[in-house]
Amino acid sequence: MAKVISLSIVLASLVLSFSAYAQTNDTSLANISQSDLEAGQGRYRVLCARCHGMLGEGGEGPSLKRARLIHAPNDEALFSVISNGIPGTGMPANWALGPSDLVQIAGYVKSLGQLEAEEIPGDAIRGRLVYETKGNCSACHIVSGIGRGVGPELTEVGMRRNIAYLRESVTNPSADQPRVSDRRKGTLNSFLTVRAVSEYGVYEGMRINEDEFSVQMRDIAGDIYSFEKSKLISYEKNFGHSLMPGYGVTLSEVEIDDLVSYLMNLKGEN
């Protein structure tokens, strides 16, 4: 109870502090000064670049090089996301930031959306055909409600990831899988491969949830299993491994370019 009260006090204090700052300072990100942008860049590199990339190109976290951010469609929402984080994701709260720090970081993040868009490497129309046929990607992924949600949904992946990230995901999907047991990493709780052996057989899939006593997983077919750990013969976390096959061998360079182009065009607009 004391922790809940303390958190409420902290949040209320932050709101009052920012409100007082806004009364005597211009918090409009459209009018942010060059010096504030430079200061925001420095703070961004310390607090944000590990997940979002030095230039906002994305990585463990989504790309910020786009005009519309999914969780921050306006300045007020952007301030909130940076300060309070996004519950249930790898985006942490930054309650120690002062009002001026918040404005500077938000201003720099917003400026990233004004960077030049990347040149699409191939043909998106042909890439859709690769996605639907040779790649058989809908067996694990969903686009606009079509497919199976074993892997991450791709409906807006073109807004969240850059070309380099998508190419590596297609050719070497294990590269972005968690390799250490660190609950602070956003990717750890999503798509970590686990393997359970029980008296009924061997099961491999992606972990959905885990606590001290049980683990739940979803296999490649989309079936969900729940196990009591005490009843398992063995249980392993397969760090650095993805259930998704690497397409570097099965697809040609042209097909990979086309597939990446199709994914880059998925922006949730249709």
Bridge-based pairing state of the strands 214-218 and 201-210: antiparallel
Q: Which residue has the higher pLDDT, 240 or 231?
A: 231
Give pLDDT, residue 254.
97
Mean pLDDT of the chain: 83
Pick the CATH number of 124-171+246-264 from 3.90.25.10, 2.30.38.10, 1.10.760.10, 3.40.50.170: 1.10.760.10
Domain 2-112 matches domain 124-171+246-264 at the CATH topology level: yes
> Is pLDDT larger for residue 9 or for residue 209?
209
| Residue appearing with tokens 């729940």 | 226
**What tokens were used for 156?**
């807006």
Pairwise pLDDT comparison (67 vs 167), residue with the higher score: 167
Instruction: Tell me the percentage of the chain whose pLDDT exceeds 70.
Output: 82
Q: Note the pLDDT of residue 20.
A: 54
pLDDT (0 to 100) of residue 180? 53
Domain 2-112 has CATH 1.10.760.10: yes
For residues 198 and 231, the answer to whether their CB atoms sit within 8 Å is: yes
Predicted confidence at residue 10, as pLDDT, reads 47
77-130, pLDDT tens digit by residue? 999 999 999 988 889 998 888 888 999 999 999 888 765 668 899 999 999 999
Q: Are 35 and 27 in contact (CB under 8 A)?
A: no
Q: Domains of the chain: which residue ranges?
A: 2-112, 124-171+246-264, 173-244
Look up the CATH number of domain 173-244. 2.30.30.100
pLDDT for res 24: 53
